[in-house]
Amino acid sequence: QVQLQESGPGLVKPSQTLSLTCTVSGGSISSGNHYWSWIRQPAGKGLEWIGRIYTSGSTNYNPSLKSRVTISVDTSKNHFSLNLSSVTAADTAVYYCASNYYGSGSYEFDYWGQGTLVTVSS
């Protein structure tokens, strides 16, 4: 059973960079049939897809965040990471990492981390 776990600071100052890591266990991040995504959810609101990475390093980002987002992967550590620069209070949210299974053709988010709350405040 694949498990994902987010880690990183829970408090980030405005204008700084938010950095999170998602560690994958119970399977290899290089298995070849998953993309690896970041999703966020402000308190009481809906879900926003931030972007995805394949183990080759190929990425796709949400245009709404593209200028500030970098997603990277370290296959030797079986983890992938999110950097979001120039944060403001609007970036305060629970951040989830998740895997996308493309074997079904539907790219559903089949495994999720538990989520980590990141608050942007001075």
Partner 1 sequence: DIQMTQSPSSLSASVGDRVSITCRASQSISRSLNWYQQKPGKAPQVLIYAASSLQNGVPSRFSGSGSGTDFTLTLNSLQPEDFATYYCQQSYSTPWTFGQGTKVEIK
- Site residues (vs partner 1, CB under 8 A): 37, 46-49, 52, 60-64, 96, 98, 100, 104-110, 112-115
Please say which residue, 15 or 64, places its beta carbon nearer to partner 1.
64
Please say which residue, 62 or 75, places its beta carbon nearer to partner 1.
62
- Shortest distance (Å) from residue 94 CB to partner 1: 9
- Shortest distance (Å) from residue 36 CB to partner 1: 13
The pair of structure tokens assigned to 112 is 């999720």
Please say which residue, 10 or 105, places its beta carbon nearer to partner 1.
105
